[in-house]
Amino acid sequence: MEQTRELLINMGPQHPSTHGVLRVLVKLDGETITWAEPDIGYLHRCFEKLSESKTYTQVIPYTDRTDYLSAITNEHAFCLAVEKLMGIEVPERAEYIRVMMAELQRICSHLLGLGAMALDLGAVTGFLYAWRDREKIYSLFERITGGRMLYNYLRIGGVRNDLPEGIIGTPKDGRDKADKTIWGFINYFESYVLPEWDDLLTNNRIFQWRTQGVAPLPSEVAIAYGASGPVLRASGVKWDLRKNVPYSIYDRFEFDIPVGKENGDCFDRWVVRVEEMRQSARIVKQALQWLAENPGDYIAPKLPRVLKPPKGEVYIRYEGSRGEVGVHLVSDGSANPYKVKWRSPCFTHLQLLPVLAPGHKLADMIAIIGSIDIVLGEVDR
């Protein structure tokens, strides 16, 4: 009998839903995926090698450009590594500013991740709503750091400048001040944006059809493949480096770790991200309270112009927006790092694609890519 033949298609490198320049080879039987393989490297920019010829301070702008949607967290991870290597004490106010910025960045990054996933599933409006709210975070960041997307704001030992006057605002600031004060944004975000996401997408029947039961990831598989961050938590593993291996001052904050069910599917990954935004907003609020109560201008210690850390190596685990960012720094005592190894969560998550995709429809493929939320800049580095 005549059998149907498999169809090999090439999603990307130029394809609307591959979040950058990713090429996925897919074999289809009708509409069902039988085999999928990501092909990466289109955005390779030699970040790790390039860092070896820069001084430690000069590397910071490059870390911005790995996961360009979550720049502050990358800077934070790198600075933590250098500080640990040199044993630098970071001023308390700088720590609070760093944490607040990192959590705002996490909200911003999740907004884009969720928005892009919604866009891939055909909900264009959700994407534009995400864009609208990111814009507000960006205008706040612009006032604080001078940059909108790539900040170069954190310094080894502290931050570049204190918060500008009036940006914190008061807890009473509402929606009209959403892009003027951080309090205004957080209030607007909690009272307006999050319910809107729930109404528009999370509780939308079609959206649930498209994501529930799609690409379930058992927790053992997730751990075996080195998944981390929201992807791991969506599979029911309560693992958050901010709680489990506290760094910076995260042990001072009160927040929960949202987890999905045992077999986390695309919907769980979605819900976990939405919940994480809520928790991040909680952390930001606590940081804002402290910052408002403890004014000061000591935000960075005095350090020599050229940093020469002692010989040695250090590894930092950092809970980035997309998962565990690892920085392995080797110093030979000179002004340039001997080796910078960047563990990128997206790279690790992308290898889940051949595991998750087979057996699902082509349309699920993009839901999967959206739900593991990859940034190709970080995958290729």
Size of the site for other proteins (CB under 8 A): 37
Q: How far is the CB of 129 from other proteins (least distance, A)?
A: 7
Q: For residues 162 and 299, is the Cβ–Cβ distance under 8 A?
A: yes
- Report the residue number, 79 or 366, with the smaller CB distance to other proteins: 366
Q: How far is the CB of 170 from other proteins (least distance, A)?
A: 26
For the segment 357-376, give every residue that binds other proteins (CB under 8 A): 361-366
17 is a site residue for other proteins (CB under 8 A) = yes
- Report the residue number, 126 or 229, with the smaller CB distance to other proteins: 126
For the segment 26-65, give every residue that binds other proteins (CB under 8 A): 28, 30-31
Mutual orientation of helices 71-86 and 56-64 as an angle, nearest 10°? 160
Angle at CA of residue 236, ends 235 and 241, nearest 5°: 95
Q: 220 is written with which tokens?
A: 């053992």
- Report the residue number, 130 or 163, with the smaller CB distance to other proteins: 130
Stretch binding other proteins (CB under 8 A), from 93-101, 140-148, 197-205, 289-297? 197-205
Q: How far is the CB of 134 from other proteins (least distance, A)?
A: 13
- Scan for tokens 């914190």, then name that residue: 168
Alpha helices by DSSP H, listed for 225-322, are 229-234, 241-244, 266-293
25 is a site residue for other proteins (CB under 8 A) = no
Alpha helices by DSSP H, listed for the chain, are 47-51, 56-64, 71-86, 92-120, 124-145, 182-188, 194-197, 205-211, 219-224, 229-234, 241-244, 266-293, 345-350, 353-356, 362-372, 376-380
298 is a site residue for other proteins (CB under 8 A) = no
Stretch binding other proteins (CB under 8 A), from 106-114, 172-180, 293-301, 356-364? 356-364
Give the 3-state secondary structure of residue 14.
coil
Q: How far is the CB of 307 from other proteins (least distance, A)?
A: 45
Stretch binding other proteins (CB under 8 A), from 14-22, 43-51, 172-180, 224-232? 14-22
Q: How far is the CB of 138 from other proteins (least distance, A)?
A: 16
Q: Is the peptide bond before 13 cis (omega within 30 degrees of 0)?
A: yes
112 is a site residue for other proteins (CB under 8 A) = no
Phi, psi of 34 (to 5 degrees): -105, -20
- Report the residue number, 203 or 334, with the smaller CB distance to other proteins: 203
Identified binder of other proteins from the candidate list 16, 164, 333, 359, rule CB under 8 A: 16
- Report the residue number, 165 or 176, with the smaller CB distance to other proteins: 176
Identified binder of other proteins from the candidate list 103, 120, 268, 276, rule CB under 8 A: 120
334 is a site residue for other proteins (CB under 8 A) = no
Quickly count: other Cβ atoms within 10 Å of residue 47's Cβ: 19
Q: For residues 378 and 347, is the Cβ–Cβ distance under 8 A?
A: yes
Contacts of 171 (CB under 8 A, 6+ apart): 183, 187, 285
| Residues facing residue 217 across a β-bridge | 264
How distant, in Å, are the alpha carbons of 208, 223, 272, 273 from that of 234? 16, 12, 6, 9
3-state secondary structure 306-367: CCCCCCEEEEEEEECCCCEEEEEEEECCCCCCCEEEEECHHHHHHCCHHHHCCCCEHHHHHH
Q: What is the DSSP letter of 201?
A: I
- Report the residue number, 10 or 170, with the smaller CB distance to other proteins: 10
For the segment 221-250, give every residue that binds other proteins (CB under 8 A): none
Identified binder of other proteins from the candidate list 84, 132, 160, 180, rule CB under 8 A: 132
209 is a site residue for other proteins (CB under 8 A) = yes
Quote the CA–CA distance of 135 and 68 in Å, as a whole number: 15
Q: How far is the CB of 201 from other proteins (least distance, A)?
A: 7
176 is a site residue for other proteins (CB under 8 A) = no
Q: How far is the CB of 64 from other proteins (least distance, A)?
A: 28
> Which residues of the shown chain bind other proteins in the complex (CB under 8 A)?
2-5, 7, 9, 15-17, 28, 30-31, 118-126, 128-129, 132, 200-201, 204, 206-207, 209-210, 361-366
